[in-house]
Chain A
Amino acid sequence: MPESLFKVNIEEYMLPGNRACSGCGLSLAYRYALKALRKNTILTIPASCLTVLHGLYPTTSVVIPCLNCAFASTGASASGILAGLKALNRQDITVVAFAGDGGTFDIGIQSLSGAAERETDFIFVCYDNEGYMNTGTQRSSATPIGALTTTTPFLTKQEHKKDMLKIMEAHDIPYLASVSSSYPVDLYDKFVKAKRIKGTRYIQISAPCPPGWVYPPRDTVKIGRLAVETGMVVLFEIEDGKFQLTGRSKTLAQRGNKLPVIAYIERQGRFSKISAEQVAQLQNWVDTRWEEYLRRAST
């Protein structure tokens, strides 16, 4: 696959030296996403690690225009940008909302659902680091079962992750994709495709977070890959209702060599208190969904 790297836009929209932690999966993914989106884009972002990555007034590390918005308002903020641009006869600009899992799965779900139902012509990106990281790793509905967070500090999270991709699929949107910061070319290609499509597009990025997931920063790419190789994260896209596995998930399906979840769990401190029963539950959760994905990919 390295040759496809050569077609990646060489322009940089994220300047070196931003405020994300070292080894941040979000900043890896963001760089490639912006390369795919290019200049003629307006971003809107709610409170999150991304707000911090963008820098402190009056300097910023990102050269794409950005409207910071209140935590719950992201989908509506994008709708307002689009309505304003339309009223001013500017319809050549791609509007992109970029929110964390809290800003998507939890507090932002209402305005996102509203915008999708209105068939708002924008891309909503959720970078999923599986917790409220900006406020110091609290549980979100994207946190997996068995994970320690500061609000599940001893007993670990007791419930499974919410399937936000399914919720967005139920909105009948023209394009939906699951990507990972560890597979930038797959991510880049999907953003390029999404940019060309009209209507609401949803992209969810699996973005490992060293301090929140408790592993050394140098392991981010490895952890992200293990998430895919164990089936915790599945790379796919749904275009006009047509489902297909992509990239590493596709080859896993072809070769049938998915790893057990323990290979992923054992490398992260956040799972240090997971019980054997929870591991079994998690494995079962992964397997059931993996079967479903395989079924969908084969029809």
Chain B
Amino acid sequence: MTDIQIVTGNQAAAIGAMLCQVQVVSAYPITPQTSLTETLSRFIEQGQLKAEYVRVESEHSALSVCIAASSVGARAFTSTSSHGLLYMHEQLHWAAGSRLPIVLCCVNRGVGAPWSIFNDQQDAIAQRDTGWIQIYCRNNQEIIDTLIQAYRIAEAVYVPVMVCYDGFVLSHTMMPIEVPEAEAVKDFLPPYKPHTILSPDEPRNINPVTFPWRRYDDRGVLCDGYMELRYKLQTALENSAASIIAANDFFADAFGRNHGGMLWSYRMEDAEVALTSMGSMATEATTAADILRDKGIKAGVVGIRVFRPFPKEAVRIALNKAKAILVFEKDISYGYEGALCTDLKAALYSTDIRVPVHNYIAGLGGRDVKPRELVEASEDSLKIIASGIREPKTTWINCFTG
């Protein structure tokens, strides 16, 4: 019998972590993530989840706890938002550099100054280069399912995974979800086997000082230098695409839900205008595409599910026939444009896809953006492009720009 529950995104994530039988949880309150850790605390204190909960004094410590717990061989979980994620920055690098399969839920929120508790994706995007896999969710079902897939991916490639979902829009919105059966999750997710174990049984010095060059160990074996270790992390991220796709396919077989491997497409078969986005705004884009089609414009959506590793090949295939590409995103790389747009254009650079790309910045700090506004933006964009402008200026939606 399927177990349907009506839950918020944060509850979905907590149930997901419980189903993954995480062994150590450490987190620190921050809006809009807080209710996720509160729910997990309840699960643990009520005995539904057998795990150690370390109630730390900061996010830096929360991730430090996960790093150390993962090093001794425990499955570790943390979650945060916004300033909490920024405060973890040093440890995000440390976790990836140590090749630890920690899973972190990032409940996306804007960052200060000035303060905003509302949603955008600047927090996670600002951590793009820390060596974590980043997966963005569209709805609460995807949150729970992606979290379960995340441990399988992380533990296969020894790279930490950030499961990102929009604050309030998903974290505090009730939606019906199908909760996977505990036994089935156990089958899907084999126990965590660390690559190196921190134990007196096999003493070693983990993460010591490395030098630029390779050095011999006491048996005369030439070992990695810092740069080889970085190359291995990069290779692991590049190769992780295969594990991400495999986890998605295997999950679809086992549970009957396919959320797309690296990305998903909506009405793209004959689409001439491709709307691309990440997270819940990509869902809005599907409604926008329907409206555009009703108006006679062949629109489709490419939802980027995995931002790192960037789905270069998949993007090329998905956008192969598009005549115009519109990128809607909730972040800005100050002094340039949206980070997704930059990466997407770079992926197309040496292909035959030479169509105009129009970047839209939307929804920063929780500013409302509705499908209707995406429709209007798309229509404007098509007019600009039709007038012969190949490189439209980045446009801020619903923003008074003077």
Contacts and interface: CB of A to CB of B under 8 A. Distances in A.
Contacts of B54: 79-80, 83, 118
A56 interface: yes
Interface in B44-77: 51-52, 54-58, 60-62, 64-74, 76
A266 B196 CA distance: 50
Interface string B221-264: 10110000000000000000000000000000000000000000
Given A58-B215, A79-B56, A84-B74, A69 B202 contact: no
A85 interface: yes
Contact of A73 (B64, B217, B224): B64
B2 interface: no
A253 interface: no
Contact of B61 (A51, A52, A79, A85): A79
Given A58-B223, A64-B203, A65-B204, A77 B68 contact: yes
Nearest to A68: B207
B198 interface: yes
Given A67-B71, A87-B69, A54 B208 contact: yes
Contacts of A42: 72, 198-200
A51 B55 CA distance: 28
A235 B245 CA distance: 61
B223 to A, nearest CB: 4
Interface string B101-139: 000000000000000000000000000000000000000
**Dominant SS among interface residues on chain A:** mixed
Listed residue (B67, B72, B94, B200) with the most chain A CB atoms within 10 angstroms of its CB: B72
5 contacts: A39-B200, A42-B72, A67-B198, A79-B26, A83-B24
Interface string B185-219: 00000000000001110111111111100011110
B217 A58 contact: yes
B240 to A, nearest CB: 24
A77 B58 contact: no
Given A69-B67, A79-B65, A117-B57, 15 more contacts: A57-B211, A57-B215, A57-B223, A64-B200, A65-B200, A65-B202, A80-B64, A80-B71, A81-B71, A83-B26, A84-B74, A86-B52, A110-B58, A110-B61, A114-B61
A56 B200 contact: no
A112 to B, nearest CB: 10
Interface residues of A, number: 46
A167 to B, nearest CB: 15
Contacts, number: 172
A65 B203 contact: yes
B187 to A, nearest CB: 22
| Closest 8 pairs (CB-CB, A-B) | A80-B68, A114-B57, A84-B69, A76-B61, A76-B64, A80-B65, A84-B72, A73-B64
B228 to A, nearest CB: 11
Contacts of B69: 80-81, 83-84, 87
B60 A51 contact: no
Nearest to A47: B209
Given A56-B208, A87-B23, A72 B72 contact: no
Contacts of A78: 68
A299 interface: no
A44 interface: yes
Contacts of B205: 54-55, 57, 60, 62, 65-66, 68
Given A70-B90, A80-B68, A88 B61 contact: no
Contacts of A73: 60-61, 64, 67, 91, 94
